[in-house]
Every structure is written in C-alpha cells, then in structure tokens.
Chains A and B, each alone.
Chain A
C-alpha cells in the first residue's frame, strides 16, 4: 500500500479507536456504579441495534438525520468555517417541509409533492445558513458566534409559530401534511416493521454522493477547499473568498435543513417543536469522526446513531442517559487524539526519512 494512503487511513482510524477504548472504560465504570454487569449491558446494546431488524431500522433512521447534519458541518469545515448552527437549520428545514406539505392540496402526486417539500426544507435551512454566511462575507462577523446565537433565535421563532399560530390544540405540532409524505421502508422490506426508517434514506444517500461529487470533482468544490486550506493564497489565485464562504454556509445550511424531512415527511407527517433534539450538535461529532469526508460522515453517523438507539435498548438495565455521557466522551477523546496522532505519525515519518 502506498505510504501516504496508509498514513491517511491511520490518521482517520486511530483517534476513533482510542475514543472507543476510553468510552468503553468509562462506560464500564458507570455501569458498575449502577450495579450491573458491563458485558451484559454491552451485549444488550448490540442486540438492540444491529442484532434485530427493528433496532437496525431505528439506527438507519437516526443515522439519516445525523448524516445530513454531519455533511452540513463537514461542508463548512472544508471551507475553513465552523457552522455550529446545524441544530437550528435542521429545525428550520423540517418546518419548511411541514409548511410546504400543508400548503399543497391533498392528492398532489408524490413526484411533484416530494421534490417541492424537499426543496422547501433545503431552502429554509439554506436561508438560516445564509445569515452567518452574509455577515461573514460582508462584515467579517465570526460565524461561530453568529451560528450559536442564531440557533436560539430560530428555535424560539419556530416555537412561537407553532405554539401561537399553527398547532393542533393541546400539542406542540402542526397539523399533518396533505402531500409529500414519504413511505416507510417497512412497506417494501417487511422485517423493518415498526421502525421509523423511511425513503429519506435514499434521498440522503444521494445527497452524500452529491456532496462528495461537489467537493472533489467540481471547480467550485475545489475552490471551496482551497479557501478552507489557505484563504489568502486562494484570494491571490483569483477566488472570491467572501462569496465562497457565504455559499459554503448556504450549502451547509441546506444540507442540515434536508435532514428535517426525515422526521417531518418520513416519520410523523408533521412538524413538531423540538424534534431536532440535539441531532444538529451531534453533527459536529459526526463531521469530526468522519474527517469531513462524505463517506466518513456516513460511517460516523451510523456509529453515533447506534449509540443513541443503543441507549434505548439498555434502558431496562442502566439509565439511557449513559450514552449521552459516552457520546460526549467519544467526542472529547477524538478531538484530543486527532492532533496527537497526527504529530506522532509525522514524527515517525520524519524519523524514518532521516535514516537514509
């Protein structure tokens, strides 16, 4: 195997392995503190996720949303920006899809209704992404601060719309969509019965391929990555850095917004306040573990979805919140070991290079 490729793979795989070991040790301690046997809990976690069709369907469902938010964060990081507004963009996307589905007349054929709702989701997410994008391009406002603040603004605004204008009485959700709903996978593959996995998974898989194509096969994607690596050099080479940043955050927001259709069109058939439930923030973890590569993002999304669903599976033995703590530990451990592993590998290379 060629040495550069080998190092790239080592750099990508070692930090998550370190994180897994750390999480297993802390997890063991927490499980023991709760008076349960770690091996039994871990076995239950695997059985309840990858061990049966329902659990696996739930993993796929959760991974679908996380792939979108992970792609969103990865897209921004490739441009050298950090979009931590995926949570609000995801919610806005779901709201957009729900509104579009409500506005369409019942009986609109799916080949029209679904694309309209999907575009509404991406448009709403993209609009939320455009705010930090434009402020960054125009005023140099730091996108991290703007996206954090915008999360709260968007969630409060959506909460206002739903609670004051659009809700079904006694609930915090909108009426069901008239058109644009996506069928469950269980209609096609019976064993998934009961799980929320739905056709969004196909749309999101296509989005992941499109994101890969855009980043690595198009001129705009090349420019975006160039800006992310060296904004000054890219500017010198004739790339408009401000516009690239703005566009990257719009695309990023649109990808996060797309994730909203999974819940709204594929699962419940309506927008519900608070459905995003932290999936936007987990997108940061997904992008980090997935090394900002669409394929890595999909794998990392499956991993974090397994943990989320696994929490429910083990809830009878230990509180499901243990997985939230473990997710936090995995992220800290990956973030901490990424620069360290890189340093160690680089040192190893320069040493072997010096031996002639």
Chain B
C-alpha cells in the first residue's frame, strides 16, 4: 500500500512535468529553445480557471487553457521564426509577461492579488484518493503524452521533418521540407502541451494562485535536457524528478534532508549531464538558430 501511494503521488506530481517536457522536447528537436515552458504553463493554468469559472465546465476550462498556451506560443513562434528574434530573450520576456498579465487579469476578473475563487475540476469534488485519480482524464493524457510524442518524433514523416529542421535546416530545405512551417507547428504544439500541464495543476487544485507553476516549466526543461532531447528519456527524467519530490514530501516529518537540497536535484543532475561527466548530453545542432 505504501508503495502504491508513493507511485500515485509520483505520477500526480509528474503529470505537469510530462506535459511541459513533451512540448519542450518537440520544440527543441525542431530547433527552437523552450525557455517559455514556464510561461505557457502559467497561461494554461490561468486560462483553465477562467474557462471553468465562467462555464462551470472543466472541459471548457481545458480548451481555454490550451488557447492561452497557443496564443503565447504564437507570439514566441512569430518573433523567433518570422522575425528571427533571439529565442532566449523572447523566452524570458514571455515568462515575465505571463506572470504580469495573469496577475493583472486576476485583479480584473476576481478582484484578488493572490488567488481565484474555487472552480470546477475533473472528477468528483475534493476526491483525493484513487477515484479522483482514475477519473481525471488529464492524468491519462499525461501518462500517454510522452510515448505519443516519442512515436511522432521517431516514427512519422512529420517527426522526421522535425528532427531534420532541428539538425540541418539547410539540408532539410534543399529536399523540400518547409522548415518554417514545421517549426511553427512544433512551437504551437509545445504551447498547447505545456498549457495542458498548467490546466492540470489549476484544475487539480480547483483554483489559480499567483505564479502557481513555481518553476515547474524549468524542471520540465531540465528533464528534456537530462533526457538528452529524447521524449522517452525525458519522460523518465520527469518521473525521476517527481519521485525525488514525493520522497521529500513523505520524509518531511523526519527532517532528514533540508527540502531545499531535494529541490536542487533536477538542476544539479542537469548541469552534470550537460557537462558530459557521464555521457555528453548533446543539443540538436540548430537549436536556437533560426537565421539559416
């Protein structure tokens, strides 16, 4: 029973990471840097609460959340691909913008600087146990998202094109791959996927709280890099990071390790991975470069 509880808790924590990392893997494989995952998630979370609050439907919340993610991703895609803006700068700016605009609308819509009222989520109200776990469609989607993205990247024509434009855009263009169009699709998909992570967070907690994603988008990015830009490995990295968090929560009473040190694990592992101490983690060759 303890093991089952641990597993359930780990999956619960991993779901937002899995969605966002799936988006990150897709965009980065297409050569577009995904510093924006945090902003996409936060936008998705806020959109979900707006939609759910005004319609009392979690599904409409999901749609509105994804629309927020798509909108933010469109800004990122147009500036990075059409205008060849620096993707890192735009990524940081989109995160900043999203924090500000969600706070602004939190005030405008709900008259609060900290949180929204309670909204409808998936499954029963306040069901914390196995029932709530199994009736939440986002959990099922989150569990399946990485295998599906892996299949798309590795086994479909579109995935081949994504990999081609991320490694050798010139070569891809010379054999007729519409480089920019592939990148637009990949970035928009990353916006929608990361937003789903935010939708899950907000609807699971039945409310939006200020900056509620709290760096989860960066943990997802760390998982992508730690997983060497491979969706399946990135998914495993998400589970690993989530398991560490679960362990920390369960050991909190014992005070064995300060929580700050557990929180560092994903970041430390990622630095070790990019430093190549145990097997170099290599980015797609054209990552961050849209000029060619």
Q: Could you tell me how many residues of chain B have their Cβ less than 8 Å away from some Cβ of chain A? A: 46
Known: A322-B100, A325-B101. A156 touches B92 (CB 8 A): no
Query: Which of A108-116, A146-154, A173-181 is the interface stretch?
Result: A146-154
A327 near B: Cβ within 8 Å? yes
Stretch at the interface among B56-64, B120-128, B257-265: B257-265
Q: Which of these, B90, B108, B215, contacts A336 with CB under 8 Å? A: B90
Whether the Cβ atoms of B271 and A332 lie closer than 8 Å is no
- Asked if residues B264 and A331 are in contact (CB atoms below 8 Å), the reply is no
Binds A, one of B14-22, B81-89, B177-185, B240-248: B81-89
Contact B276–A339 (Cβ < 8 Å): no
Known: A82-B88, A153-B268. A328 touches B79 (CB 8 A): no
Cα of A141 to Cα of B274 in the assembled complex, Å: 5
Flag whether B270 is at the interface (Cβ < 8 A): yes
Question: Majority SS of interface residues in chain B?
Answer: helix
Say yes or no: is A186 at the interface (Cβ < 8 Å to chain B): no
Give chain A's interface secondary structure class.
helix
Q: B92 to A281, Cβ gap below 8 A?
A: yes
Residues of A within 8 A of B261 (CB): 156, 160
Nearest-Cβ distance from residue B105 to partner chain A, whole angstroms: 9
Given contacts A142-B283, A152-B267, A336-B79, contact A321 B104 (CB under 8 A): yes
Given the known inter-chain contacts A329-B97, A339-B84, please indicate yes or no for A148 contacting B90, CB distance below 8 A: no
Chain B residues numbered 248-288 whose CB sits less than 8 Å from any CB in chain A: 258, 260-261, 263-264, 267-268, 270-271, 274-277, 283
- With A84-B88, A284-B89 as given contacts, are A321 and B100 in contact (CB-CB < 8 Å)? yes
Number of interface residues of A (CB under 8 A): 51
Complexed CA–CA distance, A58 and B108 (Å) = 27
Q: Is the CB of A164 within 8 A of B258?
A: yes
Asked whether A153 and B267 contact (CB < 8 A) given A160-B261, A281-B96, A331-B92, the answer is: yes
Q: List 26 A-B contacts (CB under 8 A).
A: A84-B92, A142-B283, A144-B33, A145-B270, A148-B218, A149-B271, A152-B263, A152-B267, A153-B264, A153-B267, A153-B271, A156-B261, A157-B264, A164-B258, A282-B96, A319-B104, A319-B107, A319-B108, A321-B100, A321-B104, A322-B100, A324-B101, A328-B97, A331-B90, A335-B85, A335-B86
* Chain A residues in the interface with B (C-beta under 8 A): 30, 33-34, 82, 84, 131, 135, 138-142, 144-146, 148-150, 152-153, 156-157, 159-160, 163-164, 278, 281-282, 284-285, 288, 318-319, 321-329, 331-332, 335-340
Instruction: List residues of B whose CB falls within 8 A of some A CB.
Output: 33, 35, 75, 78-79, 83-86, 88-90, 92-101, 103-104, 107-108, 113, 215, 218, 221-222, 225, 258, 260-261, 263-264, 267-268, 270-271, 274-277, 283
